[in-house]
């Protein structure tokens, strides 16, 4: 299981500083949608240049023009690019084809997909690298969690790796680990803590114990 740090609502210097605190414990740095909107794709390049040994995910949440947007993110140094599961199959196929040209990976974010099981099977057949169950910020506030949906996706997906995101923190991590996703995405569960390095170290230890 890999650990991805989701960075949101910070500028580039703050992002670089925050990653430095937890670099030893994470595998992937996610440049969240708010940073991309605020700073542009050069935020991806800045993090990749600062931490070449870490993978960088560009959370573009692509909904159209999959090939073009994956190309631009790849040029900026992204290793993984996100596409929305609610987008058209042609968009996902275009994203996958472009990613293959550059040796990059595609993560499909299933946020707001209505028939999760059916869509996961369809997307799995399109050759994506990760299928991510994601309880969005607004639904987290309403008390929802991604754990049941993760179990559903794990049951039906045959080819892609699975990822999970949405309000994961130390207290809920054991339940996530029991579902055995390939990638665990943590944002505020690390970035919102006083002792970020200590929290990330504990999360990494639990994941390694698996």
Predicted confidence at residue 59, as pLDDT, reads 97
The pair of structure tokens assigned to 171 is 């207290």
Of 106, 187, 105, nearest to 146 by C-alpha is: 187
pLDDT band at 144 (very low <50, low <70, confident <90, very high): low
Nearest alpha carbon to residue 106 among 51, 75, 67, 154? 67
Task: For residue 195, give the DSSP letter.
Answer: S
Count CA atoms within 13 Å of residue 84 on its CB side.
15
Question: Does residue 9 register a pLDDT over 70?
Answer: no
Query: Tens of pLDDT along 24-44?
Result: 999 999 999 999 999 999 999
Q: What is the per-residue pLDDT across 53-106, written as a single tens digit (0 to 9) for each?
A: 999 999 999 999 999 999 999 999 999 999 999 999 999 999 999 999 999 999
The whole-model pTM stands at 0.95
Alpha-carbon span 53 to 62, nearest angstrom: 25
| Residue-level pLDDT at 139 | 63
């Amino acid at each position: 299981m890999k650990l991805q740090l989701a960075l949101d609502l910070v500028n580039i210097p703050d992002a670089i500083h925050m990653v430095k605190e937890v670099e030893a414990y994470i595998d992937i740095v996610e440049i969240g949608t708010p940073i991309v909107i605020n700073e542009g794709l050069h935020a991806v390049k800045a993090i990749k240049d600062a931490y070449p040994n870490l993978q960088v995910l560009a959370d573009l949440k692509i909904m159209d023009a999959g090939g073009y947007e994956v190309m631009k993110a790849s040029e900026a140094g992204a290793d993984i690019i996100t596409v929305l599961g609610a987008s058209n199959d042609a968009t996902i196929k275009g994203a996958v084809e472009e990613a293959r040209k550059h040796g990059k990976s595609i993560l499909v974010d299933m946020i707001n997909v209505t028939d999760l099981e059916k869509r996961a099977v369809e997307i799995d057949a399109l050759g994506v690298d990760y299928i991510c169950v994601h309880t969005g910020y607004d639904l987290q506030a309403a008390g929802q969690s991604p754990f049941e949906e993760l179990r559903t996706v794990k049951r039906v997906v045959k080819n892609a790796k699975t990822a999970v995101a949405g309000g994961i923190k130390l207290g809920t991590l054991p339940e996530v680990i029991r579902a055995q996703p390939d990638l665990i995405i943590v944002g505020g569960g690390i970035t919102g803590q006083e002792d970020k390095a200590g929290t990330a170290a504990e999360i990494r230890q639990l994941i390694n114990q698996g």
